[in-house]
């Protein structure tokens, strides 16, 4: 079937794009169809002209946001230069993709909490599989002795975890950095320092 009409296309996407930050902020059950409709500027019933039900709308929002995020990271992984430069570019892109896109980060977080794990695994493999493999390859290349995949997993965990905790860190210690570029620099330096001194 050929895709039909352009005008249909645009409202449909506008609905998903409008819904995404709402879902990110309040979660699936925390956002009503009426909330979304109001934000878009139409009535709730009209949403059903574009999506079969609330779940379909939710998945469309997820897909939209995650594909944007993946594109960002993939671009950075294509960077060329010295290994040092490539690693720094990758870490910054990852930090940027997490800290700079709170909607994506929160949706990911919520899916990790709420989602049916089997269904979500599929999404993760499809969407995050390739960037993860690229990261693993780069890290393995830089430190042939180490476990690139494991390091990548730690890296992702740390960045994501830090961005989640970021809002409350100042309350624990005002000196803690909330500047994400500092975070990126610290992590890149740390990784480089570790790799230049391979451990037994």
| Interaction pattern, residues 64-103, with DNA; x per rule: CB under 7 A | ----------------------------------------
1: partner contacted, choices DNA, its own copies, none (Cβ within 5-8 A by kind): DNA
For residue 55, state whether it binds its own copies (rule: CB under 8 A).
Answer: no
Q: Minimum distance from CB of 38 to DNA (Å)?
A: 10
Give residues 127-166 in contact with its own copies (rule: CB under 8 A).
128-129, 132, 136, 147, 149-150, 153-154, 156-162, 164-165
For residue 182, state whether it binds DNA (rule: CB under 7 A).
Answer: no
Distance CA 110, CA 38 (A): 23
Question: In angstroms, what CA-CA distances link 177 with 62, 85, 104, 185?
Answer: 30, 23, 22, 12
Query: Are the C-beta atoms of 30 and 54 separated by less than 8 Å?
Result: no
* 91 closest CA partner among 158, 163, 185, 162: 185
For residue 3, state whether it binds DNA (rule: CB under 7 A).
Answer: no
As given in the structure block, the two tokens for residue 191 are 């990784």
172: partner contacted, choices its own copies, DNA, none (Cβ within 5-8 A by kind): its own copies
Residue 112 CB coordination number (10 Å): 12
Distance CA 67, CA 127 (A): 7
Residue carrying the six token digits 């169809």? 33
For residue 34, state whether it binds DNA (rule: CB under 7 A).
Answer: yes
Distance CA 73, CA 95 (A): 10
Binding site for its own copies (CB under 8 A): 26-27, 29-30, 106, 109-110, 112-114, 117, 120-121, 124-125, 128-129, 132, 136, 147, 149-150, 153-154, 156-162, 164-165, 167-169, 171-173, 175-177, 186, 190, 193-194, 197, 199
């Amino acid at each position: 079937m050929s895709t039909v009409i352009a005008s249909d296309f645009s409202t449909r996407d506008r609905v998903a794009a409008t819904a995404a930050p709402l879902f990110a902020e309040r979660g699936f059950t925390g956002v009503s169809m009426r909330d979304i409709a109001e934000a878009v500027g139409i009535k709730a019933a009209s949403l059903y002209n574009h999506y079969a039900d609330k779940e379909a709308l939710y998945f469309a929002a997820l897909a939209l946001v995650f594909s944007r995020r993946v594109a960002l990271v993939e671009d950075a992984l294509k960077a060329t230069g010295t290994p040092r430069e490539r690693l720094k570019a990758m870490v910054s892109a990852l930090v940027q993709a997490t800290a700079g896109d709170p909607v994506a980060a929160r949706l990911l977080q919520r899916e990790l909490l709420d989602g049916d794990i089997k269904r979500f695994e599929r999404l993760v493999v499809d969407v995050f599989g390739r960037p993860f493999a690229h990261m693993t390859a780069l890290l393995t290349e830089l430190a042939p002795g180490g476990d690139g995949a494991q390091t990548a997993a730690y890296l992702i965990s740390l960045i994501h975890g830090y961005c989640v905790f970021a809002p409350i860190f100042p309350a624990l210690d005002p000196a803690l950095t909330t500047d994400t570029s500092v975070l990126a620099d610290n992590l890149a330096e740390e990784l480089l320092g570790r790799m230049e001194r391979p451990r037994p």
